[in-house]
Structure formats: C-alpha cells, structure tokens
Amino acid sequence: RVYLPIFFIMGFIEEIQRRRTFGIVSHPDAGKTTLTEKLLLFGGAIQEAGAVKSNKIKKGATSDFMEIERQRGISVATSVLAFEYEGIKINILDTPGHKDFAEDTFRTLTAVDSVIVVIDVAKGVEEQTEKLVKVCRMRQIPIIVFINKMDREGKDAFDLLDEIEQKLGLTITPLSFPIGMGYDFKGIYNIWEKNVNLFTGDSRKDIEETVEISDLKSEQLNTIVGNTAAETLREELELVEGIYPKFNKEQYLNGELQPVFFGSALNNFGVRELLDCFVSIAPPPKPKQSEERLVKPEEEKFTGFVFKIHANMDPNHRDRLAFIKIVSGEFKRNVPYLHVRHNKKLKFSSPNAFFAEKKQIVDISYPGDIVGLHDTGNFKIGDTLTEGEIINYKGIPSFSPEHFRYINNADPLKAKQLYKGIDQLMDEGVAQLFTLDLNGRKVIGTVGALQYEVIQYRLEHEYGAKCTYENLNVHKACWVETKDKKSAEFLEFKRVKQRFLAKDKQGQMVFLADSHFSLQMTQQKYPSITFHLTSEF
Ligand code: G4P
C-alpha cells in the first residue's frame, strides 16, 4: 500500500468537496436549455445567449433521419456541461426531455448527485416531469424545483405548489416567492436571502436590481413594489410560513424536503438566486453502493461506472464514447484499469473531459467528474472500471419498454453484421433485446416508436445490415422472480405461459404480458411469482 503525502490528500479531498454533479429534468419546453445556458453564462463558460444548442427533436421530425443525426451530434456536445462558479466545479449532465429517450434520462440519473426540476408556471406539472421525479424519489436524490416563465401569465403560486406536492409527491418549501405574475410581475422576494429582486424584463441585463429588505413590515417594500403588491406579498409570505415546513438542509439532502424557486430563465431572472442556493446546499459526490460494498469518494483507489454510451458521428470510425462517472479516487490518463466484467486491463490515452461545450483531453479527473473514453466495443452500460478490486456497481436497471416488435433480417448475406449491430446498439442502450424461449425469435423493445427508425437507419449506415420489423402485441415486459425454481407452481407457469416467455440480454427471464388484464390474471393464478417492471429488484 502506498501512502500519499498529506498535502496531496488534502488537495484530493478539496477537489471532491468542490464538485457538484447534477441534472436538470423537465418536460420538453419548460425551459431546461434556457436555464442551462443562463447557468453557463454565470459561470463565464459561454459569452452569449443562444450558444447552447437544444437537443430536442423538433415536432414532426420523427422520420427525418438528418434530424436524428443532428440530434445525436448535439447530444454528444451537450452530454456534460462543466463550468466553475465561485470556486465550485459544476457538472451538468444533460437529460433528453423527449419521451422516446426517457430511458437515457433514467440512466443519467444514476450518475447525478442532485437534480433541478424545471416547471412551466402556465403548464404546471407535466407527464415527463412526473415520471422523472418518481425515479429521483425512488433514489432519494435531492431535488430543487425551479418554477419558470414567471414573466408570463400562469397558475396561481399556491395552486401550483399544491399541484407539485400532489402530483410529484414532494414535500416542498418555497425559498423565494413571486410578486405578481405575467404582465404584473414585479419581482421576487428571496426568502433564502431576505431581499427583493426587481424585475426589469430586460433579458440583456445580467444581474437584476436587488434591494435588501431586513423587515417585511417596513415602508420600504411599499415604495419599491407599490402598496397593493406589498400587502399581498406580506399576506402570502405569512401563509407560506404557516403552511410549509422550514427549510432544513439535512432533510433536503435526504430527499425528504424540496426547496422551490420562482423565476424566468429567459430573462435571467431568479437564476442567480437558484445558483447561489444550489452551490451552498447541493451535495458533493456521494458514496455509491456496489454489489460488494459501499465505496466512498475519498478512497484512494479509482472506481467508476459507465452510464452512457454514444456512437461516433463519423460512420468511418465505428468507435464510441463511453461516459464514466468517477465514484472514488483519481482517474489518470494512460494508467491501466480493470474492466471488471471482462476481467481485462485497459488503458486510455485520450480521456475526454468536458468544459462547457468543448471536449479536451485531461490527465486527471476526480470523483463527481465525467470522462468520455473512446471505446471500440468493450463497454456496455453499467460496466465498472477499478484499479484491480472486483466491484460491480448496481442500479442501472432496465425499465419495461412500451413498444415491441420482431426484428427480421432483410439481407441473408449480412446476418453477421446485423447481429453485431443489434448487439452493439443494445449495449449502447438504444433499445432492449428479448429472445423468445419458444422459437428463438428476436424482439426489440423500445420506449418510443422513434427508436425503431433510429435502429434501422443505424444498422444500415453503420453496419451495412438491413432489417424489417413485424408487430407484436405486448403490453409490458415483466422480469420474473421466484423463490423456488422447482416449485410445482413455477413449473406450471413456465409450461402454460411458454409462448410469452423470453430472455433479456443478460439471460434473465421475462414474461411478455399481452395485456394489463392477462398480467393481472397471471399474477393471481401464480401468487408465489413476482412480476417486476424493472430488471433490478
Ligand atoms: P426545453 O429545453 O425544456 O425543451 O426548453 P427551452 O429552454 O428550449 O425553452 C422552450 C421555450 O420556452 C423557448 O421558446 C424558450 O425561449 C422559452 N422560455 C424559456 N424560459 C422562458 C421564460 O422564462 N419566459 C418565457 N416567456 N419563455 C421562456 P421557443 O419559442 O420554443 O424557442 P426559441 O425559438 O425561443 O428558441
């Protein structure tokens, strides 16, 4: 065991403590891209608005392959946006808002230490937000809520806060409160810092006017926002104090309490308050559970896991970029690390780190950081890298897909290419592959219909293989769990339901239920078997 000099260890610990790795989640159009951009502006990582490209797929672009390619390009560029703010190194992990890529977002959530949820004040809690917050809650990820577009007419603040509590199941505490809204929007009272920010509606301005209000009862408030607004604000703040729990950092960090901010990302309003609070309360990298043990970031030895794989944009180079979240120790360039699943040492001569929208080769990275490694097909999502210890990080489950189709080979001479292509695309996490027990036929399961076109297009352009699809009526894929594989009940289940049984890519047994009803009936008939909608349980 090599003992490192104390000054070195000090530096290492500080590097960990100053990192904040988080994701912004929202329903498309709530303002995620706009907010990201404003955060980068504060960090000085970009100079002008409009620099961050939206990775959303424009409406009606479902069969436009150029659009898919363009989107892939952008999503490499915006996978990780890193910047520094007041000595804190912030890593924003991009999460696609488009529902067809929800699985990608779920996986990215395994690599974040906290999230900011953006909600559109007029639209309130939308479907994607609900799904994503559910995953965050399952993982006890600390959440800050940002209610955006306050410059527009929207829902009443209290109604919206109610909706957030009910639909998202959160326990919230407003740390800022709007003064008026839309046309009458005057500004924000910052409960966290006890001051009033006046809204000017001038998006070119970087920092709005801030007036310290030490006492809410003071006449000063009336002078600034007018009598009516001042009175309303006092009443509302009294209500806030009466209804909502006081902010408590410990509870926030445990995922039990969620602070709420109001603002307008487009007008750069309320963003600095959000960022200042974020850097002071959001958690640095946390310990992570592996199958073997809990691994702490301060541990000297490097460990990390792959949470995302991105194919190269250049079809002539079929290498890919595997995104690794560093959990412990330091990741160094040209040092051999153990690829645990393959039991093979690999070293990386050009690990990429991310800075705003640029990639650059780095010699050393710390826990909380993301490095992009060039990969020729060694990695799949969930793989662990270590300095030699056998560690397997848990917690990148597959969710039941929503769509299922048979995939057929359309060019008998290219069977090998087809299977290689399917294999690699599945490792990238584009979709899930199931093989039917009965006849070995292959079924592709996806979250959105768009993926079928992506797969077909990429198989042809990257692997030279052709495929066709055939519809298959499946409602949900359920991972099957039984305590006793030899029980009469389980054997009967296997015999009766043989037609609906398949293996996933890991060889786990899956029941492809053709309707909600049949799933219920099966569950009733075989009570000793549990049917899970995720691959890890
Ligand atoms: P997303 O990444 O969550 O999908 O949302 P994005 O930031 O792209 O924002 C969606 C739309 O909402 C954009 O308008 C953006 O300008 C607008 N927006 C974001 N924040 C605010 C805000 O605080 N107030 C108001 N009024 N609008 C806001 P767009 O017309 O769809 O796009 P663009 O043509 O402006 O780029």
> Per residue in 187-236, pLDDT tens?
888 888 878 877 765 544 544 566 777 777 888 888 888 888 889 999 99
Q: What SS3 class is residue 387?
A: coil
List, for residues 225-241, the tens digit of each pLDDT value: 888 888 999 999 999 99
Q: Is 30 in the pocket of ligand 1 (CB under 6 A)?
A: yes
Cβ of 264 below 6 Å from ligand 1:
yes
Atom 9 of ligand 1: nearest residue by CA position: 31
Nearest to 31 by CA among 62, 3, 54: 54
Q: How far is the CA of 148 from the centre of ligand 1 (A)?
A: 10
CA angle centred on 157, ends 153 and 161, rounded to 5°? 130
Three-class DSSP category at 211:
strand
For the chain, 537 residues long, the average pLDDT of each consecutive 10-residue run is 55 94 92 90 72 54 56 67 91 79 83 96 93 89 96 92 96 92 84 78 53 77 85 92 94 96 90 92 95 95 93 68 94 96 94 79 93 89 94 82 95 93 88 95 90 89 93 95 94 95 94 95 95 84
Place of tokens 């000063």: 220
Q: How remote is the CA of residue 29 from the centroid of ligand 1, in Å?
A: 6
Give the sheet arrangement for strand 209-212, strand by strand.
176-179, 187-190, 195-198, 209-212
Whole-number Cα distances in Å, 170 to 133, 144, 232: 9, 10, 26
Q: Is the CB of 476 under 6 A from ligand 1?
A: no
Is 154's C-beta closer than 6 angstroms to any atom of ligand 1? no
CB 121 less than 6 A from any atom of ligand 1: no
Assess whether the C-beta atom of 123 lies below 6 angstroms from ligand 1: no
Strand partners, 509: 503
Residue labelled with tokens 């093989």: 435
Q: Which of 25, 34, 35 to mutate to test the pocket of ligand 1 (most atoms within 8 A of CB)?
A: 34
Task: Please say whether the beta carbons of 386 and 337 come within 8 A.
Answer: yes
H-type alpha helices, 189-297:
219-225, 227-243, 249-253, 271-281
Under a CB-based contact definition with an 8 Å cutoff, are residues 21 and 370 in contact? yes
Task: Give SS3 for 317.
Answer: coil
Give the model's pLDDT for residue 20: 97
Query: From ligand 1's centre to the CA of 232, what distance in Å?
Result: 29
Q: Kindly give the distance from the C-alpha atom of residue 433 to the centroid of ligand 1, in angstroms, as a whole number.
A: 36
Q: Choose among 135, 154, 136: nearest CA to 31.
A: 154
Q: Which atom of ligand 1 is nearest to the CA of 37?
A: 7
Indicate the pTM of the whole model: 0.86
Q: Using a 6 Å cutoff on CB, does residue 265 contact ligand 1?
A: yes
* CB neighbours of residue 64 within 10 Å: 14
Q: Which atom of ligand 1 approaches the CA of 26 most closely?
A: 3
Mean pLDDT taken over the chain: 87
